[in-house]
Amino acid sequence: MVQFIDGKPSRRLRRPNRRHYLRHITTSSLSKGRNTVIFDWVDVPGDVDAINAGQGVRVGNTVSINERVYGMKPTGLLYPISGNGFVFLDRGAYSALGYYNEFGVTDLAEQRMDRSRITTQSRERARQVLETGEVDT
Amino acid sequence: MIWEDILITRSVSEREIATAMAAVFNIDQNRVMAIPGIPDYDGEVPDEIGILCEHRPVTGDFVLHLSIYLRDDALERYAEAHEIGILVGQLCQIWSSAALMSDDSIDPYSWLLVRGPDDIQSVQIDSEILDDDDAWVLASVPEAAGAHPSMD
């Protein structure tokens, strides 16, 4: 576990890998049952700098900053959990997002998802996330 | 619907995938289709196919990524009636392989290592190797709970 001394982490925390960003999800991405992805507009480097400067609020293995909660690995690596600009996706929606990122919101994407029987609800959720993620909310 | 994404330690053939899926889901082998992962494959999938399994190579302790899709209601009901870990464990037994499957956590580096229906254990993936090299390597290998495939 990363220790915090006077509000500052004892080792420099590092930003989440780009695999966690909305636009980097593809059909090759390995989904979990529960996934959190990051909207492109989130100032993750700013969050990480603020946390390293002692402005985050640590609870157990998580740290909060700017209405976002990050998980912390013992190595100092951060990953997204929840909050403003982070979005939760179940396996189906995460999978659908991979198709849309790879093929666009196109007939081809829909055909590929028909083949895999990706549900209408999963597709709608992925499209909703893509549309929401295009603007700073 | 997508049923599960798993990584396995053995490079099984498409025939082995079909044979094992058919046995575990109790359907005819002709109703299982294994194909290379999108976008490599753009062929048709016949309506009678009940399980579609896409396979892609990965590196690290695991060699194949399998995305498993169930294409009819009866198979979805069958899957819902059974523990996922047990079904994946049965696949592992047939393939003489170990598998990495999702746990319930939001932590992207926390997974379950499955080496059989009675050997399902929490593991951590080495986050630095995954992020730097895109390779799936276990941070540590738990002792096997039974006489199951090793991680070698």
Non-local (6+) Cβ contacts of B91 within 8 A are B6, B20, B21, B24, B97, B99
Average pLDDT, chain A: 93
Structure ipTM: 0.90
- Mean pLDDT, to the nearest integer, of B140-149? 68
Model confidence at A133, pLDDT cuts 50, 70, 90, reads: confident
A108-A113-A117 Cα angle (round to 5): 150
Q: How far is A11 from chain B (nearest CA, A)?
A: 15
In a mutagenesis test of the B interface, which of A89, A116, A123 is the best target, namely the one with the most B β-carbons within 10 Å? A116
Q: What percent of chain A has pLDDT over 70?
A: 97
pLDDT digit string, tens, across residues B25-77: 999 999 999 999 866 667 888 999 999 999 999 999 999 999 999 999 999 99
**pLDDT higher than 60, residue A16:** yes
pLDDT digit string, tens, across residues A49-74: 999 999 999 999 999 999 999 999 99
In the chain, the amino acid numbered A115 is R
**Res B71: pLDDT:** 94
| Cβ–Cβ < 8 Å for B57, B132 | no
In a mutagenesis test of the B interface, which of A11, A30, A38 is the best target, namely the one with the most B β-carbons within 10 Å? A30
CB contacts of B111 in chain A (<8 Å) are 32
Question: Left (φ > 0), alpha (ψ -120 to 50) or beta: where does B40 sit?
Answer: alpha
**Res B38: pLDDT:** 63
Residue B108 contacts A, CB cutoff 8 Å? yes
Please state, in angstroms and rounded to a whole number, the distance separating the CA atoms of residues B27 and B8. 22
Read off the pTM.
0.90
In the chain, the amino acid numbered A132 is T
Nearest to B106 by CA among A74, A70, A13: A70
Sequential DSSP letters for chain A: ---EETTEESS--BPPPGGGBGGG--TTSPP-SEEEEE-TT--HHHHHHHHHTT-SEEETTEEEETTEEEEE-TTSBEEEEEETTEEEEEHHHHHHHHHHHHH-SSHHHHHHHHHHT--HHHHHHHHHHHHHHTS--
**Closest CA in chain B for residue A119:** B1
Model confidence at A136, pLDDT cuts 50, 70, 90, reads: very low
Domain residue extents for chain B? 2-136
**pLDDT higher than 50, residue B103:** yes
**Res A132: pLDDT:** 85
Average pLDDT, chain B: 92
Residue A71 contacts B, CB cutoff 8 Å? yes
Please state, in angstroms and rounded to a whole number, the distance separating the CA atoms of residues A110 and A67. 35
pLDDT digit string, tens, across residues B75-90: 999 999 999 999 999 9
How many other C-beta atoms are found inside a 10 Å radius of the C-beta of residue A54? 12
Please state, in angstroms and rounded to a whole number, the distance separating the CA atoms of residues A100 and A25. 9
Phi, psi of B151 (to 5 degrees): -90, 5
pLDDT digit string, tens, across residues A83-120: 999 999 999 999 999 999 999 999 999 999 999 999 99
Residue B10 contacts A, CB cutoff 8 Å? no
The DSSP letter of residue B16 is H
Residue B37 contacts A, CB cutoff 8 Å? yes
| Cβ–Cβ < 8 Å for B15, B25 | no
**Res B144: pLDDT:** 75
**Res B146: pLDDT:** 58
- Mean pLDDT, to the nearest integer, of B2-13? 96
**Res A125: pLDDT:** 96
Q: How far is B73 from chain A (nearest CA, A)?
A: 11
**Res A137: pLDDT:** 43
Structure tokens given for A21: 């960003």
Residue in B38, B45, B102 nearest the CB of A27: B38
Please state, in angstroms and rounded to a whole number, the distance separating the CA atoms of residues B87 and A72. 32
| Cβ–Cβ < 8 Å for A75, A17 | no
Domain residue extents for chain A? 4-133
Nearest to B92 by CA among B20, B2, B145: B20
**Closest CA in chain A for residue B2:** A92
